Amino acid sequence: MTLQLPAFLFLAFALCSVWMRPLPIGRRAVPLWLLLFVMAMAWGLVGGVLDPVAISALVVLGGAAYGCGHAPRGWLRGAYGVLAGVLALALAMHKLPGFRNPLLLDRVVLSDGAAPFTLYANFDKGAVGLVLLALLCRRVTSWAELRDVLRRTLPVLVLTVAATLGIALALDVVGIDAKLPQHALLFISVNLLFTVVAEEAFFRGFVQARLACALARFSWGPWLAVAVSALLFGAAHLGGGVQYGILAAIAGLGYAWAYQRTQRIEAAILVHIALNAVHFIGFTYPARLHGV
């Protein structure tokens, strides 16, 4: 893991630097996140996390995402968007070769009666989050705007956490289990940077935002985009079982509502990581053995 660590540190720094101003280099301004992403990929090659095929896939994803946002014609932006969406989904689902994501936790049982829990550091999924977040997502641009987003997000966060975990309790998928495992900080940071950002950037910042834009002439258009975003999010989690897919759709509805209410990706990310953190610390994680 020693040689692999710098790749993930640089990727984490790249994600955090998306909100920073570009660096002036000569006559050009170069985004800091891009420089850090290049360093992350270089260290990924050195550490054996990536091979040249993986690098090629990430470069194509970056070009497609840039084209989706900057191509001069609508049909061309749409074509780039389809390519970016397909590549992003394939990478996030670990369907493309060339990535060797390290195992961090192997079948850890966090509480009595809980299903075993495994955690990977997923470079492919984290890179998807970075590219979509940097090139295609609407983000806050000032501290004042961030305060307003937080104010508008808080009620959605509370309702989403209460509804999702309340229904999970009613279905006996989880039980109340307050704890602070030694893995808590590792889980929350890895989950935020290499899972939550990617999922929200794709389902909300990419799918929901573009669908809402396409349906903007209809009064119900943005709310259809909310529903579609939530249902697709639930469908993506059906691999964990029907109940898990339903709970993911309910949670996804909250994430999509937060995005619709603020039009900023930070809102959806905040609600998502808050739910995951409360679930991890306060309830059976990931689920009761008989619950999924």
Mean of per-residue pLDDT scores for the chain: 95
What is the chain's percent helix, strand, coil content, to nearest 5? 70, 10, 25
Q: What is the pLDDT of residues 100-116, one digit of tens each?
A: 999 999 999 998 889 99
Q: What is the pLDDT of residues 34-70, one digit of tens each?
A: 999 999 999 999 999 999 999 999 999 999 999 999 9
- The separation between CA 30 and the C-alpha centre of its own chain, rounded to angstroms, equals 24
State which amino acid sits at residue 76: L
Element (H, E) at 243: helix 242-262
pLDDT tier at 25, thresholds 50, 70, 90: confident
Write down the pLDDT at residue 291.
Answer: 43
Closest by CA to 196, choosing from 259, 273, 84, 88, is 273
Which tokens go with 232? 């697709």
Name 251's Cβ contacts closer than 8 Å, sequence gap at least 6: 160, 164, 233, 272, 275
Q: What is the pLDDT of residues 122-135, one digit of tens each?
A: 999 999 999 999 99
Write down the pLDDT at residue 85.
Answer: 97
Report the share of the chain in percent with pLDDT over 90. 91
Q: What is the pLDDT of residues 182-219, one digit of tens each?
A: 999 999 999 999 999 999 999 999 999 999 999 999 99
pLDDT tier at 1, thresholds 50, 70, 90: low
- Residue 72's alpha-carbon distances to 31, 76, 87, 197, in angstroms, are 22, 7, 22, 28
Write down the pLDDT at residue 88.
Answer: 97
pLDDT tier at 26, thresholds 50, 70, 90: confident
